[in-house]
């Protein structure tokens, strides 16, 4: 390498580091002799690699690797850098329409973990569950993979398949699930009026339109004479803080909704309720459903309504993901840093992150029997649902088909209870998830049962 080229290399590294430790993030790092020495060491190592490595290194790859390594040292799986390609994929996702399998994932204890499958999607029909650990994607280990890397590998063209190796609590060993990709359309709300004028609204995510759509539904049901409300946030992985605050404000007329606490004073915020924003009457009975797939913004709303005793929370402990991320843009908005800047606290001051919201009434959902674990592995590995549908095309979901499928599983050495086999069959045949499923949803059944005791 010539002297001029070496100088350009060092200047480029210095400019990069100056941006990172100087004004690149909007505030300067604390400068001291130890940080200066570390920066000098970094430049020397980069220079040695550039001059002496056996093959000419890719400068861009080296820098991105250095950035990723720096962020990994924070030990925060929700903080990561997005280059042009990853940021483009991120922009596609937030528009609510993309090709994939339909799961929300996160890092939990440094393992790629399912937060929730989206109802009606390939992942939902394949039987993926909250807290399933994805240890391989197409045979490649997910160790040291970022969430963005994993998402990019899971997504692909419609009709193509991806194989996930799943480690699930209760199973003796991991198993593979092959899932065909499809177009994923995310709709925010599913709703209907149940018997006795019980309003049921399920919010599936917190996006830019969620608060407006929910306000419309709440006002519509008020006009219809709603006597009680079941607000369902199960499987809702979260979304925008602003949407969560707006929605909590519909139920609470006074007091703190949520607070955020960070390192900098401008990140310590308190969001208060406004009486003008209240839509739901204070005397209207409200049951809020949550489960282990309820995360982030869902936990903000659940924490607010529980602390203010504005709703009876029912279901399972929520996921426990409640840290605040902010996007910092670079290169004209083509690259971005997703950085954790604060954490959420409920109105009573309880930290949500890593702990979750414990409901007032714990009701576990339909669970598979331990004796069925081996059968469930064979069901997934041998693609028994596909074999059944090949032999019995376009079946109707009725008692005859349920019995036929149950016998089919027994004959394929995967015996299950009628309840379990019927649940799997219905999930596959119902390409468009029903608004409610009273056949298997015992949490919803319990909420309805309790409400009917309190209303006339």
Q: Is residue 283 part of a domain?
A: yes
As a whole number, mean pLDDT of residues 389-414 equals: 94
Q: Based on the domain organization, do 399 and 296 belong to the same domain?
A: no
Q: Based on the domain organization, do 92 and 230 belong to the same domain?
A: no
Q: Based on the domain organization, do 207 and 354 belong to the same domain?
A: yes
- Please state, for a pLDDT cut of 90, what percent of the chain lies above it: 48
Q: Are strands 286-290 and 269-272 parallel, antiparallel or unpaired?
A: unpaired
Q: Based on the domain organization, do 205 and 156 belong to the same domain?
A: no
Q: Is residue 76 part of a domain?
A: no
The pLDDT value recorded for residue 32 is 57
d(CA 253, CA 275): 4
The pLDDT value recorded for residue 25 is 42
As a whole number, mean pLDDT of residues 46-68 equals: 87
Least confident among 71-75, 164-168, 414-418: 71-75
Q: Are 312 and 361 a contacting pair, CB within 8 Å?
A: yes
Q: Are 166 and 178 a contacting pair, CB within 8 Å?
A: no
As a whole number, mean pLDDT of residues 2-29 equals: 52
The pLDDT value recorded for residue 226 is 96
Q: Based on the domain organization, do 353 and 374 belong to the same domain?
A: no
Least confident among 94-103, 164-173, 387-396: 94-103
Mean pLDDT, rounded, of the chain: 86
d(CA 207, CA 150): 22
Q: Is the pLDDT of residue 199 over 90?
A: yes
Of 108 and 69, more confident: 69
Helix/strand/coil (H, E, C) string of 181-207? CEEEECCCEEEEEEHHHEEEEEECCEC
Q: Is residue 453 part of a domain?
A: no
Q: Are 228 and 260 a contacting pair, CB within 8 Å?
A: no
Which structure tokens are listed for 60? 């861009």
Q: Is residue 447 part of a domain?
A: no
As a whole number, mean pLDDT of residues 195-208 equals: 91
What is the number of structural domains in the chain? 4
Quick one: DSSP state of residue 52? H
Q: Based on the domain organization, do 111 and 179 belong to the same domain?
A: yes
36 catalytic residue (yes or no): no
**Residues facing 116 on adjacent strands:** 104
The pLDDT value recorded for residue 119 is 75
The pLDDT value recorded for residue 235 is 87
Q: Based on the domain organization, do 216 and 359 belong to the same domain?
A: yes
Which structure tokens are listed for 327? 């996007």
Q: Is the pLDDT of residue 64 over 90?
A: no
**Residues facing 164 on adjacent strands:** 137, 177
- Which of 188, 307, 318, 422 is catalytic? The answer is 307
370 catalytic residue (yes or no): no
Return the SS3 of 99.
Answer: strand
Relative orientation angle of helices 399-411 and 384-391, to the nearest 10 degrees? 120
Q: What angle do CA 444, 133, 239 make, to 5 degrees?
A: 55
* Cα→Cα distances 140→38, 85, 154, 166, 369, Å: 34, 21, 12, 12, 31
Q: Are 202 and 178 a contacting pair, CB within 8 Å?
A: no
d(CA 125, CA 182): 12
As a whole number, mean pLDDT of residues 298-317 equals: 97
Q: Based on the domain organization, do 357 and 228 belong to the same domain?
A: yes
Helix, strand, coil share (%) of the chain residues, nearest 5? 40, 25, 35
* Cα→Cα distances 167→77, 112, 174, 329, Å: 19, 10, 4, 36
Q: Based on the domain organization, do 154 and 51 belong to the same domain?
A: no
Q: Which range is most confident: 77-81, 94-98, 233-237?
A: 233-237
Q: Based on the domain organization, do 114 and 175 belong to the same domain?
A: yes
Q: Which range is most confident: 14-18, 109-113, 258-262?
A: 258-262
Domain extent, residue 318, equals: 189-324+341-365
As a whole number, mean pLDDT of residues 390-415 equals: 94
What band does 202 get if pLDDT is binned at 50, 70 and 90?
Answer: very high
Q: Is residue 248 part of a domain?
A: yes
Q: Is the pLDDT of residue 109 over 80?
A: no
Q: Is the pLDDT of residue 36 over 70?
A: no
The pLDDT value recorded for residue 10 is 57
Residue-wise pLDDT for 127-163, tens only, equals 888 889 999 999 999 987 877 788 888 988 889 999 9
What band does 30 get if pLDDT is binned at 50, 70 and 90?
Answer: low
Residue-wise pLDDT for 81-106, tens only, equals 988 877 776 776 655 556 889 888 88
Which structure tokens are listed for 88? 């483009």
Q: Is residue 180 part of a domain?
A: yes
The pLDDT value recorded for residue 92 is 62
The pLDDT value recorded for residue 93 is 60
- Which of 321, 323, 375, 441 is catalytic? The answer is 321
- Which of 188, 210, 296, 422 is catalytic? The answer is 296
As a whole number, mean pLDDT of residues 5-23 equals: 54
d(CA 266, CA 324): 13
As a whole number, mean pLDDT of residues 68-87 equals: 85
d(CA 441, CA 436): 8
d(CA 248, CA 243): 9
Residue at which a domain ends, from 142, 165, 185: 185
In 253-377, where do the E strands start and end? 256-262, 269-272, 286-290, 312-315, 323-330, 335-345, 361-362
Q: Is residue 416 part of a domain?
A: yes
Residue-wise pLDDT for 407-428, tens only, equals 999 999 999 999 999 988 987 8
* Cα→Cα distances 60→67, 73, 85, 121, Å: 11, 20, 13, 37
Q: Based on the domain organization, do 147 and 214 belong to the same domain?
A: no
Nearest to 126 by CA among 366, 365, 375, 379: 379
The pLDDT value recorded for residue 313 is 98
Q: Which range is most confident: 205-214, 233-242, 321-330, 439-448?
A: 439-448
Q: Based on the domain organization, do 180 and 33 belong to the same domain?
A: no
d(CA 401, CA 384): 15
Q: Is residue 330 part of a domain?
A: no
Residue-wise pLDDT for 427-436, tens only, equals 788 655 567 8
As a whole number, mean pLDDT of residues 170-197 equals: 86
296 catalytic residue (yes or no): yes
The pLDDT value recorded for residue 12 is 58
Domain of 229, CATH number, reads: 3.90.226.10
Q: Is the pLDDT of residue 3 over 80?
A: no
């Amino acid at each position: 390498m010539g002297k001029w080229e070496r100088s350009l290399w060092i200047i480029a590294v210095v400019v990069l580091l100056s941006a990172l430790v100087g004004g690149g993030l909007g505030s300067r790092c604390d400068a001291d002799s130890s940080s200066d020495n570390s920066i000098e060491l970094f430049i020397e190592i980069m220079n040695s690699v550039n001059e002496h490595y056996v093959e000419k290194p890719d400068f861009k790859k080296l820098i991105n690797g250095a950035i990723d390594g720096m962020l990994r040292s924070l030990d925060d799986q929700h903080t990561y850098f997005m280059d042009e390609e990853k940021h483009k994929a991120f922009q596609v996702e937030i528009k609510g329409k993309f090709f994939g399998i339909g799961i929300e994932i996160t890092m939990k204890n440094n393992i790629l973990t399912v937060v929730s499958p989206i109802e009606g999607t390939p992942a939902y029909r394949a039987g993926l569950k909250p807290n399933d650990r994805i240890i391989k994607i197409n045979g490649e280990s997910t160790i040291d993979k970022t969430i963005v890397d994993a998402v990019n590998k899971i997504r692909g063209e419609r009709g193509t398949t991806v194989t996930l190796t799943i480690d699930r609590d209760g199973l003796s060993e991991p198993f593979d699930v092959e899932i065909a990709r499809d177009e994923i359309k995310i709709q925010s709300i599913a709703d209907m009026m149940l018997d006795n004028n019980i309003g049921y609204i399920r919010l599936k995510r917190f996006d830019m339109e969620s608060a407006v759509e929910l306000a419309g539904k709440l006002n519509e049901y008020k006009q219809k004479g709603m006597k009680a409300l079941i607000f369902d946030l199960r499987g809702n992985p979260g979304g925008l803080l602003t949407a969560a605050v707006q929605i909590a404000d519909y139920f609470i007329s006074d007091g703190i909704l949520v607070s955020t606490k960070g390192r900098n004073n401008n990140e310590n915020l308190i969001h208060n309720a406004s009486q003008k924003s209240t839509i739901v009457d204070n005397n209207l009975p409200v049951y809020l459903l949550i489960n282990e797939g309820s995360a982030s913004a869902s936990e903000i709303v659940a924490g607010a309504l529980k602390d203010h005793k504005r709703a009876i929370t029912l279901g399972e402990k929520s996921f426990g993901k409640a840290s605040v991320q902010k996007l910092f843009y670079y290169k004209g908005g083509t690259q971005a840093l997703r950085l954790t800047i604060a954490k959420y606290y409920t109105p009573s001051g309880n930290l949500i992150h890593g702990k979750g919201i414990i409901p007032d009434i714990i009701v576990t959902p339909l669970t598979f029997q331990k004796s069925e674990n081996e059968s469930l592995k064979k069901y997934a590995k041998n693609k028994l649902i596909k074999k059944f549908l090949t032999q019995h095309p376009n079946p109707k979901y009725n008692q005859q088909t349920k019995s036929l499928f149950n016998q089919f599983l027994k004959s394929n050495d995967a015996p299950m209870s009628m309840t379990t086999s019927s649940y799997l069959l219905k999930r596959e045949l119902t390409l468009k998830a029903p608004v409610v499923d009273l056949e298997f949803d015992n949490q919803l059944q319990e909420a309805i049962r309790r409400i009917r005791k309190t209303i006339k």
